Structure 1
Amino acid sequence: MKSIALNRFFLSIIFLISLYTSAQKQAERDLILIDKDWRFSFGHLYDTQKDFNHATGYFSYLTKTGFGDGPAAQNFDDRAWRKLDLPHDWAVEQPFSEKGSFSHGFKTAGKGFPEKSIGWYRKKINIPDSDKGRIISLKFDGVFRNSKVFFNGYFLGTEESGYNGFEYDVTAYVNYGGENTVVVRADASMEEGWFYEGAGIYRHVYLKKTNPIHVIANGSYVTSEIKENNAEVTAEVSVENKGNYKGQIEILQSVIDADGKQIANISQNVIAPDFYKTSSYSSKLQVNNPLLWDIENPNLYRLITEIKQEGKLIDRYETSFGIRTIKFDAEKGFFLNGKSLKLKGTNNHQDHAGIGTALPNELQYYRIKKLKEMGSNAYRCSHHPPTPELLDACDKLGMLVIDETRLMGINDYHLNDLKRMMERDRNHPSIFCWSVGNEEWNIEGGIVGERITNVMQGFTKNIDPTRPVTVGISSGFKSGISSVVEIMGYNYLGNGDIDAHRNQFKQQPGMGTEEGSTFATRGIYFDDEAKHYKSAYDKKPRPTFYSIEEGWKFYAERPYLAGMFIWTGFDYRGEPTPYGWPSVTSYFGMMDVCGFPKDNVYYLKSWWGDKPVLHIMPHWNWSGKEGKEIDVWIHSNCDEVELFLNKKSLGKKKMELNSHLEWKVKYAPGTLEAIGYKNGKKALLETQKTTDVAQNIKLSADQENQVNANVVVVSVETTDKKGLHVPTANHEITFSVKGGKILGVGNGNPTSLEKDQFIDAVELVPITNFEEKKLASANASNLISSDDNNWKEAFKDRDYKNQAPSYVYRGKFELSNNLSTNTVNFFYKKIGTDAVVFVNGNKIAASVEDNQKYVLTSNVLKQGTNTIQIIAPPLQKVKDWDVMNTDPGIIQVITTAEAWKRKLFNGYAQIIIQKDENAAEVVLSAAANGLNTGTLVMKK
């Protein structure tokens, strides 16, 4: 008996401990990713009926609280809408058209396409009853653009910019212990930039739960000062009280190293802020012998902020940070941790081949790795705040960042955007400079630009005094912004005399915020104006612009210039300068939109990197050009290079610093061979060989991204019978995958009008001409009416106190697609009890999983006009003011997508795969006419 009692005692103790642990966890902070299982449909820019009659009610969401109507209403029926996961960019899914926007890559979305400019998103979430007493918020990393957000029909707010993160407190509106509805309406009709921006919820969304006393959003600020071998870390934290507690709280700050070891901690007892007030508290912690963050060793620490109330932990907030020093010198350039460092940067937009702006986290790392492999050490966010995952990748991989706001100005709209960007991003050690503007031609050279810059620069210093401020300037370097900005940002050598400006403002550090702007098409070595192809040889693009080599030489030779940022690291959708339609991507990138390198990458590798490089351009497949001279360039950092054609020497040449070598070679099939010499000895060997015809498909997963990654980037190419890559191949490759799904395909061709994505099309077809007729009996459920007598407009002037026992309703819907390959469903919205549905005279049974869904097979449907009849006893009003549903439902037509495919472009294509959560492996297959099938197996 004693042992039984002891067992019960211990079990009760364990139970109490588990209850305490559960309660403690609930009292702390939760940040839950809610990207899965959203519903999506297009609305309409100005046709309210096509916009689901949103904002047409007697009371709209702006007149009375909780009156969100149309899709904003909590009980709106979205069953027919498309299912998808976030992030999502609906623009990339659209076809191309010459009527589309030049700057946005001619996609049929946004401006000029009102039926594809409004996107509605809806999601159901459950919030348990145990969350009562906590603060519940929705956190959005970015929606493009002009988003309106609703929660359970309550309007939360509007965020105009497509690049700002934002949060809404929904605590008062929560249905605890039940279902809650999140609704977002995105309006992408207006462009915010002059480059491809995508459309929709293209960044992550979270559900956040905190104690009423908590660290506010982006509420920590960590700085450090290095003294000898130690660092003094200042941790400032802003705490908000959305509850009624009055009294003392304890704030504990701890520094954790990369191994998870606590290396410093401090606590302080303070008075909690008053109701709905915020207070800031500052602590200093000593870190001995810190591991500094730099581009080669991006060492990171974590600051853990804990809040205790009466000894109980109520909030825990984590901040990643790095310890490092930065300095600009007007004579000697830029210094990181006291060491001179030449900035070798690129500008980049945020889209990628096949998936637009909705980048998975893994792709951010993939792109930064590609830039680092090229030798780049700096990244400029052009021209807007980036997604948080990009900055995380730069922190972890060692890439310096210029963080840039979207628009210059001195009012709340401009300064609040700048403030939010800085408070969100200022703990990232990768960020070394804030940019408050770019190429504002209207104000750059005048007093207005000077005034605005002074305000924004001072405002920036109040938020973060540890980093300098720059502006990218292109309309002359003489006055206005140029005369007052802290770090001069020169955009292009041809736009002004940089040396003259420096001599006038000798105390002002400077860097090339944009340089190059060259045109090149990957794998193309002769201009083809008819095809809109530009040769990949690094040539001066325009009289006032300079080649990449000319630009780098200029900045490399001037110690007072901190470095330069090339326009651009990657090609991007839109701005297809110097062409227009049918070019749909830019030509500026060192890499194409997939990240496949153009030849300029090897020039930069030679002089930006620290590894031996030897690269021959072009390829050596020139059938039909036998005996004609081909320009052969060598990119290398060897001392000398000797070139051979079919074992015959074509001469040895010395390599000048920051240069390349050239030969004129009469084409003959065979092997072009280069030998690089260092200190008089052979160091490197490189060849270009004439290949046989393509025979095999080769699939290669990005190795660093493959293991334990949810998303994998796969390169597609063809090889000949000897395994050599065929650089002129252009086969169309068809793909299939098991254990995963394809997110997008691309090939780097700037004129490709192929689909980026192959997804099922969901069309919503309305029921029109909806009429009704009274029936004498409620049991007349099998009676369908074919005569045209006594029909009237459905529900018009209905006397709900004197309704007929039953009604028969009829309407029409139009089908224009191939019925045999489509899935057609009728989603019934209740207009009566015990409804019976007929289509074209055929009685339709409700589906098993949903008794208000009817599957319409091709044998009952007709091409063109179809008739639907519904027989049902009427619904009765409980209260006189009840609003009765008069919408019978919607016809959903799903057109199955064709197989995923893409043509190779100059021998390459790319496919992006997302692994299924429970799949042990992913198998990708690729097939093409006349080629052996390629297969790639990726383990989970």
Structure 2
Amino acid sequence: MQRQRYPYPWEWRTITAHGPSPARPVVVPHDAVLGVERVDDPALTATGYVPGGTWEYRSRFEAPPDWRQRHVVLELEAVYRSPAVSLNGDLLARRPSGTAALTVPLDGALRYGAPNELTVEARADRDARWYTGGGILRPVHLAVGPRVHVPLDGVVVTVPESDDEAALVQVVTTVRNLEPRPAVRRLRTTVVGPDGEVVAADATRVTVPANESVEVSQRMLVAEPRRWSPAHPDLHTVESVLATDTGDEVDESRVVVGIRTLQLDARRGLRIDGVPVDLRGACVHADNGVIGGVVLDDAEERRVTILKEAGFNAIRSAHQPMSRAMLDACDRLGMLVMDELTDVWTRAKRPEDGSSTFTEWWQRDLEDMVRKDRNHPSVIMYSIGNEIPEAGTRTGAELARRLAARTRRLDPTRYVTAGVNGALLVMDGAVPVDPELLGGASLEEVEEINGFMMQLADRMNALGVSDAVTALTEEAYGALDVAGMNYLESRYEHDRTAFPHRVIVGSETFPTRIDVLWDLVRSLPHVIGDFTWTGWDYLGEPGLGRPRYRDEPPGTPPLAPYPWLLSGAGDIDITGERRPASYYREIVYGLRREPFLAVRRPETYGREAAPAPWSWTDCLPSWTWPVAPGTPLEVEVYADAPEVEVLLGGRTLGRYPTGPEHRYRALVEVGYQPGAIEAVAIRDGVPAERARLVTASGPRALRVHPDRTRLDGPDALAFLTIEVTDDEGVRATDADDEVTLRVEGPAALQGFGSAAPRTLESFTDDRHRLFDGRALAVVRAGGSGDVRVVASAPGYAEVATELRATGV
């Protein structure tokens, strides 16, 4: 059987204590809370002050008569949260999870000759530590096939052996028989190479008992295989055809795979086909900025593309299973994946977070994640949980072993990890801790892990190697293939001797310490990589990464007050623009030779920064500032060269040390003068690469830059950057004009907004204010024809861009 997009229209309504709202047409996937008015309520801080709700989606369709002899399956990839699916008033399925797929057989519940009414209910309310969105967030599929068929995700492809000469490809196919009598079929399996050529094929006869399933194993040799790797993500397609001898009943399945093998040990680290790989990782939440929690192929492809261009080669899905669309993009683009099951086990972190149903549902949720992942070459590790409080207890360690063992049985070809936070385990109080290590922080007063970690500040490393943390983490780490360490880099060197066979990954780390962390990854083979918090900024946990200063009132909470919306901790902002921290990271990774210039905002001058482990300085790559000439500004220069020369208007301001000995950075005070400021890398005493910032000057115009001009497909997206620039294309970062958009033709505005960290604006409105001179609009195709997007703002000429929607 093959997934097909659910083709029938939907409508939805909100259910409140006063009754349901009027039903409205809607295109799914759909985020039901993206346009909800935010509320200044401390109970909603974690979600960015976005309230939840309860929603009902309805769809009506006719069942063709030939479906009587077919098998019909509805699949909802993710409905947030606690979905209930009914057909014609009969409840068919429920699931507590909002991130696991819900697969619902419709056989026996369908009406023929009369309309069928499909209903999906969902709700979300204070059930996560970040913004989740709500409703039918991921695609809906309908699969129709014969009653003797290969079920969805019923083909598993592994590569037991691979080298340059040949690869052994094993295909295990499940064949299910829903008939009351045995069935005989022929199964033909073909492996198709990256260029469309058949590289291996096999056929066999299959007898399936009545109302049972069988597994068919086929082992095929592929000569001189083009193997998958991050640098060369070559993909193969495995096509399975199940047919009767006469060929009058056929079922087809198709999976995309990569030929590659994984190796792992503490002496040689992680290898793909024998080639060592250090993970340059990004933790990434599921929301996608101005379109909220909606998952669409083009959005996921764009996000993975930008992350890879920024130097990352791995993504950790924080903290829920990754969407199929993003996994597909990672396969195509060569991005490695650590896929994560959950943020909670049995102890609650939020009032309605699913911990109460974990014991009953974890095996099903885990199985569905692995079934989704196991053919994706990008997936190299499964994380069974993030910062689980009970992991340091005996019962928690036992549960960790059960989860890890079950994961290995479902997929023995990949590794099992978990994100373990030593500070969180200490908060549990199960093991006494030297009070000096806490620096006066009281465990009795701790309610939130981020606040506790900020209190500890520079004591985190000493706490990490303490006897208490060693004792609390030993058994949980013993259950894993890879010890995932959240903010525990002090253990990297310590564990090389204390636990000589332990393989470590920095599953979550402070972005401000990437130079130190990357040096540890490069020098310690048992440390296979680093995953920064976070690669892409996200909604919720508002102000976690905001700059902090010593003149702030004592006791300022780790999360920011209303109307803050964004975390502010991402290398890349929610519109997909790289922030200065991203370029610094690229230099540290050794992937960028050019220096990088960023300027701190004038209003921060003279304020002493406070230690804030998730916070970068409040700077941006601009030399356009609404200040008088001579106003002192602080300029940050990042470079791997031993020193850089800074020039203002062509006049040298001197040379400054940079490179690894100076943490790849220099801070230079400059009296502002419009024009140009430059940084030149000095290597062996000779000027080399350079960076330059220029002031936006002269007439300004509103401009729209689409990332494509064709919208191919019914859910195709175009991402339009909207900005104010001068005639030379230099952005006016001091522009904060309100822009109004109008979409004409067969398309709609999916989302519109900026990277402003605090705002009262909605991403579902057709008007939004620029932030640092920039905003992003996302347009979603809704048919075939010409599309025109028009932008206007007071004081500027109206500007339009043309797109073409093909509908296919």
Question: Considering the TM-score relative to the shorter chain, is it more than 0.5?
Answer: yes
Aligned-partner SS, 2:316: strand
Q: Which residue of 1 aligns with 2:250?
A: 314
CA distance in 1, matches of 2:180, 2:575: 54
Which of 629, 649, 661 in structure 2 is aligned with 1:646? 649
Contact (CA 8 Å) 1:474, 1:492: kept in 2 or not? Answer: yes
Query: Which residue matches 2:627?
Result: 624
Identify which of 216, 220, 227 aligns with 2:151: 216
Q: Does 1:39 align with 2:7?
A: no
Cα separation, 1, equivalents of 2:321 and 2:328:
13
Structure 1: unaligned runs, 5 residues or longer: 1-28, 53-79, 111-116, 519-545, 759-899
Please give the alpha-carbon distance, in whole angstroms, between the structure 1 residues aligned to 2:380 and 2:225.
19
Identity fraction in percent: 27
- 2:396 and 2:123 map into 1 onto residues whose CA distance is 31
1:570 equivalent in alignment to 2:536? yes
Deviation at 1:693, TM superposition (A): 6.7
Q: For residue 157 of structure 1, report the CA deviation from its aligned partner.
A: 1.3
Cα distance in structure 2, aligned partners of 1:903 and 1:700: 17
Three-state SS of the structure 2 residue aligned to 1:173 is coil
Q: For residues 630 and 687 of structure 1, what CA distance do their matches in structure 2 show?
A: 16
Q: For the Cα contact (< 8 Å) 1:35–1:85, is it kept in 2?
A: no
Is the CA contact (8 Å cut-off) linking 1:226 and 1:232 kept in structure 2? yes
Displacement after TM superposition at 1:704 (Å): 9.6
- For residue 245 of structure 1, report the CA deviation from its aligned partner: 3.3
- Is 1:929 paired with 2:794? yes
Conserved in 1, the CA contact under 8 Å of 2:639 and 2:659? Answer: no
**How many aligned residue pairs are there?**
701
Deviation at 1:636, TM superposition (A): 3.5
| One of 17, 20, 30 as aligned partner of 1:88 | 30
Higher gyration radius (CA): 1
Give 1:509's aligned amino acid. Answer: V
Query: What are the within-5 Å matches in structure 2 for residues 3-402 of structure 1?
Result: 29=1, 31-34=3-6, 37-44=9-16, 47=17, 50=19, 81-99=23-41, 101-107=44-50, 109-110=51-52, 117-189=53-125, 191=127, 193-228=128-163, 229-275=165-211, 277-312=212-247, 313-402=249-338
Residue 190 of structure 1 and its aligned partner are, at CA, apart by 5.2
- 2:515 pairs, out of 546, 549, 555, with 549
Q: What residue is the counterpart of 1:542 in the other structure?
A: none
2:665 matched to 1:723? no
Query: 1:679 offset after TM fit, Å?
Result: 6.5
TM-score, normalised with respect to structure 2:
0.83
Q: 2:626·2:734 contact (CA, 8 Å) conserved in 1?
A: no
For the 8 Å contact 2:597–2:637, the answer to whether it is kept is yes
Report the residue type matching 1:311 in the other structure.
T
CA deviation map 1:281-336 (0-9, x unaligned): 21101111111111121111111112122332421111111011222221332212
Which of 384, 388, 395 pairs up with 1:436?
A: 384
Aligned CA distance change for structure 1 residues 483 and 246 (closer, same or farther; 3 Å):
closer
Q: Measure how far apart 1:131 and its partner are.
A: 2.3
- From 893, 910, 914, the equivalent of 2:780 is 914
Task: Quote the residue 2:491 is aligned against.
Answer: 497
Cα distance in 2, alignment partners of residues 292 and 705 from structure 1: 32
Alignment of 1:344-743 (within 5 A): 344-406=280-342, 407-408=344-345, 411-441=359-389, 443-475=390-422, 476=464, 477-478=469-470, 479-493=474-488, 497-516=491-510, 546-576=512-542, 577=544, 578=558, 579-608=560-589, 610-618=591-599, 619-624=622-627, 626-638=629-641, 640-653=643-656, 655-657=658-660, 659-676=664-681, 682-692=687-697, 695-703=700-708, 710-739=716-745, 740-743=747-750
- Cα deviation, 1:457-487, whole Å, max 9, x if unaligned, reads 1111111111111011112551331343220
Q: What SS does the corresponding residue of 1:449 show, helix, strand or coil?
A: helix
Greater shift, 221-230 or 282-291, is seen at 221-230
Deviation (angstroms), 1:628: 4.4
Kept after mapping to 1: 8 A contact 2:2/2:254: no
Give a deviation string over 1:710-768, Cα, whole Å, max 9, x none.
2111111101344321111111111112222211111011101101103xxxxxxxxxx
Q: Which residue of 2 aligns with 1:751?
A: 758
Q: Which moved more, 1:401-410 or 1:289-298?
A: 401-410
Query: CA 1:660/1:190 → structure 2, altered by over 3 Å: closer, same or farther?
Result: closer
Alignment check: 8 A CA contact 1:594 1:748 kept: yes
Deviation of 1:445 after TM superposition, in Å, equals 2.2
Q: Is the 8 A contact 1:249 1:308 kept in 2?
A: yes
Whether contact under 8 Å (2:735, 2:772) holds in the other structure is yes
Q: Secondary structure at the match of 1:298?
A: coil
CA contact (8 A) 1:509 1:560 kept: yes
Q: Tell me if structure 1 keeps the 8 A contact 2:708–2:719.
A: no
C-alpha separation between the residues in 2 aligned to 1:343 and 1:197?
27
Residues 676 and 704 (structure 1 numbering): CA distance in 2 closer, same or farther, change over 3 Å?
Answer: farther
Q: Which stretch of the first structure deviates more once superposed, 633-642 or 446-455?
A: 633-642
Give the distance between the partners of 2:641 and 2:175, measured in 1 at CA. Answer: 57
Q: Distance in 2 between matches of 1:37 and 1:643?
A: 60
Alpha-carbon distance, 1:660 to partner? 2.6
Where 2:408 maps in the other structure, the secondary structure is helix
8 Å CA contact 1:695–1:930 kept in 2: the answer is no
In the TM superposition, residue 635 of structure 1 has moved relative to its aligned partner by 2.5
Which amino acid in the other structure matches residue 735 of structure 2? Answer: A
CA distance in 1, matches of 2:642, 2:246: 68
Q: CA deviation at 1:560?
A: 2.6
Kept after mapping to 1: 8 A contact 2:60/2:116: yes
> How far apart, CA to CA, are the structure 2 residues paired with 1:923 and 1:91?
27
Amino acid at match of 2:47: H
Q: CA offsets, 1:477-518, max 9 Å, x none?
A: 513313432201110147x533223321110111100011x5
Q: In structure 1, what residue type is equivalent to 2:476? A: I
What is the CA-CA distance between 1:632 and the residue it aligns to?
Answer: 1.7
Query: Cα offset for 1:675?
Result: 2.5
Measure, in 2, the Cα distance between the counterparts of 1:609 and 1:205.
Answer: 42
The residue type equivalent to 1:905 in the other structure is: F
- Whole-angstrom CA distance in 2 between matches of 1:366 and 1:334: 27
* Deviation for aligned residue 1:146: 0.7
| Aligned residue identity for 1:419 | E
1:752 match: secondary structure: coil
Is there any run of 5+ residues in structure 2 with no aligned partner, and where?
A: 347-357, 423-463, 545-557, 600-621
Find the residue that maps to 2:135 and give its secondary structure: coil
- Which structure carries more helix by proportion? 2
Using structure 1 for the length normalisation, give the TM-score: 0.72
User: In 2, are the aligned partners of 1:327 and 1:334 still within 8 Å (CA)?
Assistant: yes
Once the 2 structures are TM-superposed, how far is the Cα of residue 688 of structure 1 from its aligned partner? 1.3
Q: Which shifted more, 477-486 or 422-431?
A: 477-486
Question: Whole-Å Cα distance in 2 between the matches of residues 590 and 625 of structure 1?
Answer: 31
Q: Is the 8 A contact 2:538 2:566 kept in 1?
A: yes
